[in-house]
């Protein structure tokens, strides 16, 4: 088969679709365009006046054969990287089952399902995101970073993975990297939950000691979602550091109004009331923490405050 015939074959996939389809790698398409031009110029260079042609030297025949072999190899490689639609459908089933296990706290079962999905469809960004979440739950942060970065490599605009990666860096106390990925997530105007990234970024600035930047981005979170208690809580923490207990009390109270069993907010609100001299109101929230908090150490500490303030 001539190299021009080979090119025509490779330019069609199994369904007769053109190579420029999104299913095919763009680099293959670029190479084919280059080789098309190369072979055309080569043919023209050996065309004689009057339509007759001269024979090509053996070196060009060799080059022609090499190009045929290379293009055929590229064709085979492209076919190998395509995921079978049936495999994709089966992988989606494993992802759905894994997400059910994940929602019920069955992390091992979820992990198995996502690994099965990955074997069937290694280019599914959501599978890598699920696995990143499980790794972070197990505090395998380096592994989580790898999964999330793989998801982002498959979709550079995947804001959910960027936001989750930022959260992993928060857990690792790498504040600058966290801010970097929260910012990247927010650069996508289609990101559905920007308040999450703003709130987490605010916490990163808070931990860095940059309280002005923290307050600014936390207010951005509340503009986008006025009923997002984590942002209220984080903003309250910032006000505590700024010595503004009255504003901190307002923010902690808003967080509790949205989420009544928010123990972190009750704890910080109690301490803010105590610093402000409002002992009876502090006692009220210390009691709630003592009775309901699952953090045994903090619950006991709250009980000590209750005994002191009676």
User: Is 236 within 8 Å of 258 (Cβ atoms)?
Assistant: no
Chain CA centroid to CA 106, Å: 22
% of the chain at pLDDT higher than 90: 72
Residue 85 has a CB neighbour count (10 Å cut-off) of 8
| 253-269 pLDDT tens trace | 999 999 999 999 999 99
183: Cα within 13 Å, side-chain hemisphere: 8
Q: Domain locations in the chain?
A: 3-81
Residue reference for tokens 């559905």: 192
What pLDDT does residue 84 have? 84
Token pair listed for 56 = 């090509």
Q: Look up the pTM and report it.
A: 0.73
- How far is the C-alpha of 255 from the C-alpha of 229, rounded, in Å? 4
- How far is the C-alpha of 33 from the C-alpha of 38, rounded, in Å? 9
Residue 277 has a CB neighbour count (10 Å cut-off) of 9
| Range 155-170 average pLDDT | 98
Token pair listed for 221 = 């979170």
* 216 vs 76, residue with greater confidence: 216
Q: State the burial class of residue 213 (Cβ atoms within 10 Å of its Cβ: 0-12, 13-18, 19+).
A: middle
Q: What is the 3-state secondary structure (H, E, C) of 149-163?
A: HHHHHHCCCCHHHHH
| 176-205 pLDDT tens trace | 999 999 999 999 999 999 999 999 999 999
**Residue 13 — pLDDT band, cuts 50, 70, 90?**
very low
- How far is the C-alpha of 189 from the C-alpha of 162, rounded, in Å? 14
| 91-123 pLDDT tens trace | 999 999 999 999 999 999 999 999 999 999 999
* 92 vs 310, residue with greater confidence: 92
User: Is 203 within 8 Å of 210 (Cβ atoms)?
Assistant: no
Query: Shortest CA distance to 289 belongs to which of 309, 262, 310, 308?
Result: 262
What pLDDT does residue 310 have? 86
Q: Is the pLDDT of residue 16 over 50?
A: no
């Amino acid at each position: 088969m001539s190299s021009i015939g080979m090119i025509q074959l490779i330019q069609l996939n199994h369904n007769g679709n053109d190579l420029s389809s999104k299913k095919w790698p763009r680099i293959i398409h670029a190479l084919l365009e280059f080789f098309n031009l190369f072979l055309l110029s080569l043919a023209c260079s050996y065309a004689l006046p009057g339509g007759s042609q001269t024979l090509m030297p053996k070196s060009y025949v060799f080059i022609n054969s090499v190009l045929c072999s290379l293009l055929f190899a590229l064709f085979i490689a492209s076919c190998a990287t395509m995921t079978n639609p049936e495999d994709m459908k089966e992988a989606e089933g494993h992802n759905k089952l894994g997400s059910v296990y994940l929602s019920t706290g069955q992390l091992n079962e979820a992990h198995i399902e996502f690994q099965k999905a990955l074997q069937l469809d290694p280019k599914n960004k959501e599978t890598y995101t699920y696995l990143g979440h499980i790794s972070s739950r197990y505090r395998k942060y380096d592994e989580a970073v790898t999964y999330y970065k793989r998801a982002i490599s498959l979709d550079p605009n995947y804001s959910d993975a960027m936001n989750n990666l930022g959260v992993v860096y928060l857990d690792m106390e790498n504040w600058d990297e966290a801010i970097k990925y929260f910012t990247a997530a927010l650069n996508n105007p289609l990101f559905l939950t920007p308040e999450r990234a703003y709130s987490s970024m605010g916490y990163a600035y808070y931990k860095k000691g940059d309280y002005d930047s923290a307050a600014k981005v936390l207010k951005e979170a509340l503009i986008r979602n006025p009923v997002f208690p984590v942002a209220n809580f984080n903003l309250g923490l910032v006000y505590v550091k700024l010595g503004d207990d009255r504003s901190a009390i307002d923010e902690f109270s808003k967080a509790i109004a949205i989420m009544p069993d928010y123990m972190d907010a009750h704890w910080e609100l109690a301490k803010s009331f105590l610093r402000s001299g409002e002992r009876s109101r502090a006692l009220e929230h210390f009691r709630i923490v003592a009775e309901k908090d699952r953090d045994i150490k903090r619950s006991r500490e709250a009980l000590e405050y209750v005994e002191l303030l009676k």
